[in-house]
Structure 1
Amino acid sequence: SKALGVLMVLMGVFFLGMMPWLTQREFRFHKRPVAGLVGAPLLGALFGIGWTPCIGPTLASVLALSSDQASAGRGAILTVAYCIGLGVPFVVAAVAFRKALGAFGWVKRHYVWVMRIGGGMMIATGLLLLTGAWDGIVQEMQGWSNGFTVGI
């Protein structure tokens, strides 16, 4: 926790722009994959690799709940609910694409403040990890859900 706290504080300081010798760089491939059926598997594989850290733990939890504590029907319902929860934001973003561009434009215009607020939050979380207060907060929040049972 302490090592990760230090890392989070350093990343927060970096986000604040207080390390000018470590400028923010991004690396892009400027060659676009072939459109159509040939490029689709490559695009899907790259998308899957990018989302694995986000989706993997949640999907593993859903599948573990499905297999460990449920019948096949309940497992199917939990998995369908997970898929709907994952897919609906993409559908909404596609339908509201023009509005989403406006929101992204706002973020671009206020980029400096978005980075400062994000950096401040990272520093605060890192300090909570360093002092051990983060563990107390997590335990308190776990206490809130002790009596919770899943309705499905």
Structure 2
Amino acid sequence: MNETVANGALLLAVPVALIGGLVSFFSPCVLPLVPGYLSYVTGTSGSDLAQARRGRVALGAALFVAGFSAVFVSGGLLFGGFGSRLQEHQDVITRVLGALTIVLGLSFMGSLRILDRVLQREVRWHWKPAMGLAGAPMLGVLFGIGWVPCTGPTLAAVNTLAYTEASAGRGALLTAVYCLGLGVPFIVTAVAFRRALGMFAFIKKHYVWVMRIGGGMLVTVGVLLVTGAWDGIVNDLQVWSADFTVGI
């Protein structure tokens, strides 16, 4: 029974985590910097990036993604573990975290200017890892730790869902899915750099919709958590998943 409940919750939370990662990638403070990151992790100048070997660029991007994934998944483990230890207070804490998610979603949409100023203060590091493949994982770690203005709102929502799962393993799974949404576009861009630049130009023209859709998603998740509707949807998915059978 508990496993079915977990499956129902994950059926709802996994797509949210994946979309959260994609929204983070296409946000105005990540997307414009992607060519610079790829140039740094491959040791290739920006002008030569399109002519660089695809294998090297893809490997550098993958190592970079592995670096920030280690940071984010560790956070998912932590939040999921907290959820399992604080189950008797989980309802109240979930509602508080849901309210915070609403605030972060409004900020992501640009509706809370005061909070925007706070979130836009990134952590600055005086030490930089070496350029090239050897430094790529560490650059990913620094990205995961210091680039809060871009990943903070969406990642906070995913960590809230990780907490509600009340399991370190499921919390890690959700943040891993978030990293998939954030990291796969990095690798795809590395492999198809020229074509990706054309898509970037289109996204930049529609940044306002990226922020509105992403912020709206966060607000919706926050409202569902605050009102308790999240649990109702999870229970419906529990019943559906319990009755669902695959015909052979």
What's the offset of the Cα at 1:136?
1.2
22-31 or 98-107, which moves further after superposition?
A: 22-31
1:106 aligns with 2:199: no
Q: Which residue of structure 2 lines up, in the alignment, with residue 25 of structure 1? A: 120
> Mapping of 1:3-152 within 5 angstroms?
3-22=96-115, 23=117, 24-27=119-122, 28-29=124-125, 32-36=128-132, 40=134, 42-47=135-140, 50=144, 57-58=172-173, 92-146=188-242, 147=244
**How far, CA to CA, are the matches of 2:96 and 2:241 in structure 1?**
29
Deviations 1:86-142 (A, max 9, x none): x98765443322222222222222111211121112111111111111111122223
1:121 is aligned with what amino acid? M
Deviations 1:25-56 (A, max 9, x none): 1535586533347xx1x4313425739x89x8
2:173 is aligned with what amino acid? T
Gaps of 5+ in 1: 62-86
Judging changes above 3 Å, is the alpha-carbon distance between structure 1 residues 142 and 46 closer, same or farther for their aligned structure 2 residues? farther
**How far, CA to CA, are the matches of 2:233 and 2:204 in structure 1?**
33
Deviations 1:51-89 (A, max 9, x none): 9x89x8239x9xxxxxxxxxxxxxxxxxxxxxxxxx987
1:105 is aligned with what amino acid? A
RMSD between superposed Cα atoms in Å: 3.6
When Rg is computed on C-alpha atoms for both structures, the one with the higher figure is 1
More helix by share: 2
Judging changes above 3 Å, is the alpha-carbon distance between structure 1 residues 9 and 92 closer, same or farther for their aligned structure 2 residues? closer
2:107 is aligned with what amino acid? F
Q: TM-score, normalised by structure 2?
A: 0.38
Judging changes above 3 Å, is the alpha-carbon distance between structure 1 residues 43 and 123 closer, same or farther for their aligned structure 2 residues? same
1:134 is aligned with what amino acid? W
13-22 or 123-132, which moves further after superposition?
A: 13-22
**How far, CA to CA, are the matches of 2:132 and 2:212 in structure 1?**
40
Q: Point out which structure has higher relative CO (alpha carbons under 8 A, 6+ apart).
A: 1
**How far, CA to CA, are the matches of 1:46 and 1:35 in structure 2?**
9
Q: TM-score, normalised by structure 1?
A: 0.58
